[in-house]
Amino acid sequence: MNIAKMMKQAQQMQADMARIQQELAQKTFEAAAGGGAVKAVANGEGELQSLTIAPELLQDADVDMLQDLIVSAVQEASRTAKQTAQKEMGKLTAGLNIPGLGF
């Protein structure tokens, strides 16, 4: 394979990666804890976008349980977003062993 062809393929891969990252940034990933009492929504970068707590959960006011449910929902939403991003980038880089990509 000549250098020009390799460079063209690398540029195409870079463009595809940028497109995928942009698409993922627009997606949201929801996770719930406590049977849906706490819901967290993260974007494609794993950043928390919103948090919903069922009003009836607040009436009981078990702060420790509430904190655990929040952490659980946020972690799951973030984990789902990151796993999806890795899966999508992995499709693009399948079979390549490029140091520094981390996919």
Confidence of residue 103 (pLDDT cuts 50, 70, 90): very low
User: Region 51-71: what's the mean pLDDT?
Assistant: 86
Q: Quick check: helix, strand or coil at residue 40?
A: strand
The per-residue pLDDT for range 6-20, each reduced to its tens digit, is: 888 888 888 888 888
Q: Which residue segments constitute the domains of the chain, with CATH numbers given?
A: 25-93 (3.30.1310.10)
The span from the first CA to the last CA of the chain, in angstroms, equals 25
pLDDT of 32 over the 90 cut: yes
Helix ranges restricted to H, 3-54: 3-26
